[in-house]
């Protein structure tokens, strides 16, 4: 897909992986819709960097776990650009609760993680679906290898990413043949999510074949590869973990 003049909506686009994806797509000529829920200052900074690349961008504040806010966001995007060609479901939520701490996984933590990471993917994909069909667009969901391994920051996070991986497959069926739907599953990526969790990052890096954790740009490159190629790939998972899962599964 040639992204010149296209519109990409990126949830959780203010920081980390979302920011890296926004800048990558802007570099290729796409107009950018940056969704955020709390990080307004960071969103404004990302918008500034996007516009420096010679494209247009807008900010849309919305909680992706709320269907009404998602639909308003999509309306704002269409009002600004007239079309949506790419959706990157990157917004996510987690909490660092050891897997063995079953009582520490409170209902409140569980519900919020599942709401953002599962309902958010569904609500946003549904709200964009007619527009993406019309434009023969593409969806990429940012999931995680936790959806395969059952490990990660907490039990609810792993469960939510397993669900998101399967939502990807379902939407690939529902929106075929007009829209390709795939997901990128990183291992640990060095973003503000893991600030204060240095031991977690170090342990992960030791388990990879490439001896490091991912950067946000590593993940953005994978998203770009899935979107930019007019490929025969849909319903699939591209793992970006430096070979960690090979070691984990062996």
CA distance 10 to 227: 13
Count of all residues that appear for the chain in the document: 250
Which of the residues 81, 110, 157, 171 is marked catalytic? 157
* 157 flagged as catalytic: yes
Sheet holding 138-142, edge to edge: 57-61, 31-36, 7-10, 86-89, 138-142, 180-186, 237-240
CA distance 163 to 176: 20
Place of tokens 């897997």: 99
Spacing of C-alpha 118 from chain mean position: 11
C-beta of residue 13 within 8 angstroms of C-beta of residue 93? no
CA distance 112 to 131: 28
Q: Which of 126, 57, 115, 67 is nearest to 91 (CA)?
A: 115
CA distance 85 to 203: 38
Catalytic residues: 157
């Amino acid at each position: 897909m040639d992204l010149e003049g296209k519109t990409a909506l990126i949830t959780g686009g203010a920081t980390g992986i979302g920011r890296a994806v926004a800048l990558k797509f802007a570099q290729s000529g796409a107009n950018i819709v940056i969704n955020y829920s709390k990080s307004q200052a960071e969103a404004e900074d990302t918008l500034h960097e996007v516009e420096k690349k010679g494209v247009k961008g807008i900010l849309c504040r919305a909680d992706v776990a709320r269907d009404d806010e998602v639909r308003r966001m999509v309306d704002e995007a269409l009002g600004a650009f007239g079309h949506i060609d790419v959706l990157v479901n990157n917004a996510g939520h987690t909490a660092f609760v050891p897997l063995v701490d079953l009582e520490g996984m409170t209902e409140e933590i569980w519900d919020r993680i599942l709401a953002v990471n599962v309902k958010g993917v569904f609500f946003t994909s549904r709200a964009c679906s007619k527009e993406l069909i019309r434009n023969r667009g593409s969806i990429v969901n940012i999931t995680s290898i936790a959806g395969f391994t059952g490990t990660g920051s907490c039990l609810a996070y792993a469960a939510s990413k397993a669900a998101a991986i399967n939502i990807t497959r379902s939407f690939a069926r529902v929106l075929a043949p007009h829209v390709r739907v795939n997901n990128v599953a990183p291992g640990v990526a060095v973003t503000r999510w893991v600030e204060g969790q240095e031991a977690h990052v170090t342990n992960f890096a030791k388990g990879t074949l490439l001896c490091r954790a991912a950067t946000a740009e590593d993940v953005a490159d994978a998203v770009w590869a899935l979107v930019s190629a007019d490929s025969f790939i849909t319903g699939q998972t591209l793992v970006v973990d430096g070979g960690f899962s090979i070691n984990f599964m062996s």
